[in-house]
Amino acid sequence: MAKLTFNSGDKLVFIGDSITDSGRRDAAPPLGNGYVAFFKDIVDSRHPELMLNVINKGISGNTIRDLKERWEDDVISLKPRLVSVLIGINDAHRFLGGDLGLSPDDYYKMYSEVLDLTIRRINPIILLMAPFYVSKANELDTFRRKVLQLVSEYVKRVERLSAEYSTLFINLHEEFQARLSYIEPEALAPDAVHPTRKGHMLIALRIYDKLFT
């Protein structure tokens, strides 16, 4: 892929669930306390001349169904240069809880629909990030083990979508799991879902690397 270029003032929209939200609607508007804010600090420090307009559209608790519901207002209408999507862990949790409409295949279908619309209407750079679960729960029959096993199915769907739509892709599940050989899960995400500062910094750095190196 050719090296990406950005122009001064370009809009970059980051959309997703609580991992993206990170308090942007209450505790720390407008970017939150997570990876979106960290990414903005990194890119402003390294490329101040770009003055990129970074926009956080994460909402806690969201699934792909919720993103589809607000996609035209929160993505299409903004006409961003780049759209970054991180969604799926709530889908996996709710599917395990009995919401059969959020199966990996339903997730893939709804995700395809929003990507179709995005490419047809605004055709931005698209970055898809795989959902992740930060746990070593591979042996005991626990809920965490079930989530860990299931989330890989959602990861596969995002990887497939990225290939089909020729998007940028970051396998965050793989990134976090690789670090568990050196760092305890609690240091990256105490509840296996919501990253610590260290976890958010990992995401921000991977995004920067993907877009600028």
**Cα(134)–Cα(144) distance, integer angstroms:** 10
pLDDT in tens, 54-72: 999 999 999 999 999 999 9
pLDDT(103) > 90 = yes
- Is residue 194 among the annotated active site residues? yes
- Is residue 162 among the annotated active site residues? no
pLDDT in tens, 116-162: 999 999 999 999 999 999 999 988 889 999 999 999 999 999 999 99
Choice among 18, 22, 84, 162 that is catalytic: 18
- Is residue 18 among the annotated active site residues? yes
Q: How many CB atoms lie within 10 A of CB 118?
A: 21
Choice among 74, 103, 152, 194 that is catalytic: 194
pLDDT(3) > 90 = no
Extract the tokens encoding 174.
Answer: 């793989």
